[in-house]
């Protein structure tokens, strides 16, 4: 099991630690519902240093990114971030990722923890024009500070004007006395906030400074449990649950990051799939009857015929109702359609709704 630079602090803080993507990670501190509410109403800090970071540099860096990702990275400018996918050769997804344009010849890719090695090998396979690739994952720490009070809680720590930062942009600057920190306004919670990337050696210094500055705003440490309920309320995909090597970006509702104005891995087959129409779709649903949908539960129609499968589900802390996502046959994907989740051999009624669940 790998540790992050902050593992000892999590243990001392009383976090419940679990294995996740090969790392020893905090799943909760005070409890998932309390932590969820902290992020929705105030500000919370996630240690997400298990995520992977690659630097791609050189004349052909953009060309390589264009060939391996589905979105159009040519639209990026310095300081802009883009959500994208790495399509595989059989219509599925190697991973979903963020692409940061640092300058015209330098990019940072942020990938999922469980896929670091897989993604590195995949991109390397297409690196036929000498792009300088560096995997900086093991030396990089990443904190996500999320919630409506994030900007005011952090502003005293940096000269970067946080309030004026647009969604999906980033800046480099001094943060908590540490130079060359990358501050990004992305987020996986729908509650607003920032990601802070820095070298491991500064982890405790930056962690302590954030909690001191954020104290008047009710800042709290948040575990992976609440990260999952927060992202699910927004209808954000989790790799390994909602998307994987066998799900096409078009089935997953990621057509908006699949741009056919350029050549990329499997573009031809995906374009044919777009023209023909997909046979199943990733949908959101709310439970009408009592019951909590879980990953891999079967979805059936009124007659009990299998029409799909649950990929993510939970009792939503903000909405006080059970919600989920799953793939269903396209005929059942329309908003308002009644479906049934098979829970312990009982048909539990649900209804297709359009994410985000939390508005």
Binding positions: 195
Find the angle CA(154)-CA(157)-CA(162) to the nearest 5 degrees.
50
Phi, psi of 256 (to 5 degrees): -70, -15
As to burial, measured by CB atoms within 10 angstroms (0-12 exposed, 13-18 middle, 19+ buried), residue 171 is middle
The token pair that represents 224 in the structure block = 């992976």
Residue 212: which residues within 8 A CB-CB, separation 6 or more? Answer: none
Please, where are the H alpha helices in 162-236?
203-214, 224-234
Phi, psi of 31 (to 5 degrees): 130, 145
Asked if residues 118 and 239 have their Cβ atoms less than 8 Å apart, the reply is no
Residue 56: which residues within 8 A CB-CB, separation 6 or more? Answer: 64, 65, 106, 107, 108, 109, 123, 131, 132, 133
Please, where are the H alpha helices in the chain?
7-12, 32-41, 61-68, 116-126, 150-154, 203-214, 224-234, 267-276
User: Annotated binding residues for substrate, as ranges?
Assistant: 195
User: Between β-strands 140-146 and 132-135, what pairing exists: parallel, antiparallel or unpaired?
Assistant: unpaired
């Amino acid at each position: 099991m790998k540790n992050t630079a902050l593992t000892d602090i999590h243990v001392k803080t009383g976090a419940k630690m679990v294995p996740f993507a090969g790392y020893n990670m905090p799943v909760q501190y005070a409890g998932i519902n309390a932590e969820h509410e902290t992020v929705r109403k105030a500000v919370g800090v996630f240690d997400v240093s298990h995520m992977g970071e690659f630097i791609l540099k050189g004349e052909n860096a953009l060309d390589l990114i264009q060939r391996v990702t589905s979105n159009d990275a040519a639209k990026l400018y310095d300081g802009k971030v883009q959500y994208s996918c790495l399509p595989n050769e059989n219509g599925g997804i190697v991973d979903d990722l963020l692409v940061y344009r640092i300058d015209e010849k330098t990019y940072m890719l942020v990938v999922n923890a469980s896929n670091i090695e897989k993604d590195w090998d995949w991109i390397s396979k297409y690196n036929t024009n000498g792009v300088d690739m560096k995997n900086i994952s093991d030396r990089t720490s990443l904190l996500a500070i999320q919630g409506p009070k994030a900007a005011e809680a952090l502003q005293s720590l940096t000269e970067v004007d946080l309030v004026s930062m647009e969604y999906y942009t980033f800046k480099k600057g001094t943060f908590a006395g540490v130079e060359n920190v990358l501050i990004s306004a992305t987020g996986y919670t729908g509650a607003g906030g920032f990601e802070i990337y820095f070298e491991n050696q500064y982890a405790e210094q930056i962690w302590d400074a954030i909690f001191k500055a954020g104290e008047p705003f009710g800042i709290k440490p948040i575990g992976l449990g609440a990260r999952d309920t927060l992202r699910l309320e927004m209808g954000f995909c989790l790799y390994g649950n909602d998307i994987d090597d066998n799900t096409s970006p078009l089935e997953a509702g990621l057509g908006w990051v699949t741009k056919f104005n350029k050549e990329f891995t499997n573009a031809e087959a995906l374009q044919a799939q777009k023209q023909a129409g997909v046979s199943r779709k990733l949908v959101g649903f709310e439970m009408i009857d009592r019951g909590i949908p879980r990953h891999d539960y079967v979805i059936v129609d009124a007659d009990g015929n299998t029409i799909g499968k649950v990929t993510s589900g939970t009792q939503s802390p903000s909405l006080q109702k059970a919600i989920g996502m799953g793939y269903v046959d396209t005929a059942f994907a329309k908003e308002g359609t009644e479906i049934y989740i098979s829970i312990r051999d009982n048909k539990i009624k649900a209804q297709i709704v359009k994410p985000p669940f939390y508005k």
